[in-house]
Amino acid sequence: MADGGYRERAHPADLCLEVWGVDRAALYRNAAKALFETLDFCLAPTAEPASCSIALQAPDPETLMVDWLSELLYQSDIQRAWWHTFDLHQVTPTVLRGTVLGQRPATPRREVKAVTYTGLEISQDDRGQWSATITFDV
Partner 1 sequence: MGATVPSKQDLQQRSPWVWEVPATFRADMRVPARLYADEDILAQALSDRSLEQLVNTATLPGIVGQAMAMPDVHQGYGFPIGGVVATRVSDGVVSPGGVGYDINCGVRLLSTRLHAGDVLPYVGELMTALFAEVPVGVGSAGEVRIDRRELRTVLVEGAGWAVRKGLGDRLDLEHTEDQGCLAGADPSKVSSRALERGLEQVGTLGSGNHFLELDEVTAVYDAATAETLGLREGDLCVWIHCGSRGLGHQVCTDYVRSLQPALNKYRLAIPDRELVCAPVSSPEGQDYLAAMACAANYAWANRQAITHFVRRVFDRVLGQRLGDPELKMVYDVCHNIAKIETHRVDGHPESLCVHRKGATRAFGPGRPEVPADYRAVGQPVLIPGSMGTGSYVLVGTDVAMAETFGSTCHGAGRTMSRHGAIQSVSGGQLRRDLEQRGIAVRAQSDKGLAEEAPQAYKDVDAVVNVVHSHGMARKVARTRPLGVMKG
Question: Is residue 89 a contact point for partner 1 (CB under 8 A)?
Answer: no
Using CB under 8 A, pick the residue from 70, 92, 99, 124 that binds partner 1.
70
**H-run or E-run covering 108:** strand 95-108
Identity of the residue, 25 or 112, whose beta carbon is nearer to partner 1 in the bound complex: 112
Candidate ranges 28-36, 46-54, 67-75, 93-101; the one touching partner 1 (CB under 8 A): 67-75
CB 20 within 8 A of CB 33: no
Q: What is the DSSP letter of 40?
A: T
Distance CA 98, CA 19 (A): 19
Question: Is residue 87 a contact point for partner 1 (CB under 8 A)?
Answer: no
Distance CA 3, CA 40 (A): 22
Question: Is residue 40 a contact point for partner 1 (CB under 8 A)?
Answer: yes
Using CB under 8 A, pick the residue from 53, 92, 94, 113 that binds partner 1.
113
Candidate ranges 27-35, 48-56, 64-72, 91-99; the one touching partner 1 (CB under 8 A): 64-72
Candidate ranges 3-11, 22-30, 48-56, 85-93; the one touching partner 1 (CB under 8 A): 3-11
CB 105 within 8 A of CB 44: yes
Question: Is residue 23 a contact point for partner 1 (CB under 8 A)?
Answer: no
Cis peptide before 12 (omega within 30 of 0): no
Question: Is residue 37 a contact point for partner 1 (CB under 8 A)?
Answer: no
Buried b (16+ CB within 10 A) or exposed e, 116-131: eeeebebeeeeeeebb
Using CB under 8 A, pick the residue from 5, 44, 55, 77 that binds partner 1.
77
